[in-house]
Amino acid sequence: MYNMKEVVGSFGNDFSGKTKVFITRVFFGVLFLVSVSGCSTIEVEQAFKGKFRPGKANKIIGEYCQSCHIHKDFDPPLHVSKVRNLYARPVFKKARECRSCHYIEKNWMHNQHERKTRMPDDANRGKFRKFEKKELSRRRNG
């Protein structure tokens, strides 16, 4: 059996200095690209949390929803204007953002998101009062 020093030592002896530098750079480059590719989900999470202006958040959320084959032909601005009339509660009735009615829950084990909707019947019964209170406070504070 080989120990780790023997394996690493033999690897190092097989290549010249320039080749080692090149392989190291390629390795770290690939590692960087893999880590950056995960940032898109961070942007989606921030959009659903209200960290962006409404226009930018709606764009990010709309693109995220259109990535699903069911919502491929989805038109976010038209949807928001049509659906507002189904709600009676002020936060939803005057909504300008997708995130007012839609949210995501993260499955940490699989690093995936589950898309959720605050349905009109539930919202009109006051099921989302905690969210409404938080939203009204956020709107007042700017």
Domain-located, residue 71:
yes
Domain-located, residue 49:
yes
In this structure, the number of other CB atoms found within 10 A of the CB of residue 133 comes to 11
Domain-located, residue 11:
no
pLDDT of residue 60: 92
| Total domains, the chain | 1
Domain-located, residue 32:
no
When comparing pLDDT for 13 and 136, which is higher?
A: 136
Q: Helices 17-37 and 39-49, interaxial angle, to 10°?
A: 20
Range of the domain at 88: 40-141
Domain-located, residue 113:
yes
Domain-located, residue 51:
yes
Per-residue pLDDT of 90-131, as tens digits, reads 999 999 899 999 999 988 887 788 889 999 999 999 999 999
As a residue count, the chain comes to: 142
Domain-located, residue 131:
yes
Domain-located, residue 135:
yes
